[in-house]
Amino acid sequence: MRNLVLSVIGDDRAGLVSALADAIATNGGSWDRSQLARLAGKFAGIVVVTVPGGDAERLIAAVTALDGLLEVEVHDGDAAPSPAWTSLHIELLGNDRPGIVQEISTALSTSGASIEHMTTGTREAPMAGGLLFEAQFDVRVPPGTELAAVRADLELLAAELLVDLDIDAA
């Protein structure tokens, strides 16, 4: 079996997921995992597909022929990460300002952590006005990394950024 990672984007409209799913299924593929969303009038996402090696080229041709509906790029995927890594779930909430994601992602990268899933957004602050920035990160930390040090670094950064931070080992 071959793992393929499809990155997709197109103007948002009805039937996009159906067209992609049909191209995958009718060409021997299995839709394994995905993250899809409507952002700024576009429909975008990433889909992981498994396909028997002999059907891969046919599937690639079918999904990339969806031009006009979706722009699809295909990449070979790897196996799952080692289970020896520790998982952390991080939630952040604070006043919106430029640079929050850059500073948090830099701190995580410096500790050797890898972001596996990230969701961000803004919303109106209920009492004070202005915008709140919120983010959720699922992070993998390599074996041998001192979790207390990662937590301390993130808490120090949260104090500097004036954001609330909640960190849970998964």
Q: What is the pLDDT of residues 62-112, one digit of tens each?
A: 999 998 899 999 999 986 656 789 999 999 999 999 999 999 999 999 999
b/e sequence 120-148, b meaning 16+ C-beta within 10 Å: eeeeeeeeeeeebbbbebebbbeeeeeee
CA gap 97, 33 in Å, rounded: 32
Q: CATH 3.30.70.260 occupies which residues in the chain? A: 2-76, 86-169
pLDDT digits (tens, 9 = 90+) for 21-65: 999 999 999 999 999 999 999 999 999 999 999 999 999 999 999
In the prediction, which pLDDT does 73 show? 97
Q: Residue 55 in contact with residue 76, Cβ under 8 Å?
A: no
The model's confidence at residue 133, banded by pLDDT at 50, 70 and 90, is very high
Beta-carbon contacts of 65 under 8 Å, excluding residues fewer than 6 positions away, are 23
User: C-alpha distances in angstroms, 83 versus 9, 61, 80, 115, 142?
Assistant: 31, 34, 8, 15, 10
Which residue, 121, 156, 154, 116, is CA-closest to 137? 116
Query: Does the pLDDT at position 158 exceed 90?
Result: yes
Q: Do 111 and 77 contact (CB within 8 A), yes or no?
A: no
Say if residues 1 and 50 touch (Cβ distance below 8 Å): yes
pLDDT reported for residue 169: 84
- For residue 63, count other CB atoms closer than 10 A to its CB: 22
Give the whole-angstrom CA distance, residue 28 versus residue 63. Answer: 12
Return the CATH fold of 2-76. Alpha-Beta Plaits (3.30.70)
Q: What is the pLDDT of residue 47?
A: 97
> CB of 168 within 8 A of CB of 88?
yes
* pLDDT for the residue 78: 82
Which one of 3.40.50.12280, 3.30.70.260, 1.10.730.10, 3.40.50.2300 gives the CATH number of domain 86-169?
Answer: 3.30.70.260
Q: Supply the pLDDT for residue 81.
A: 58
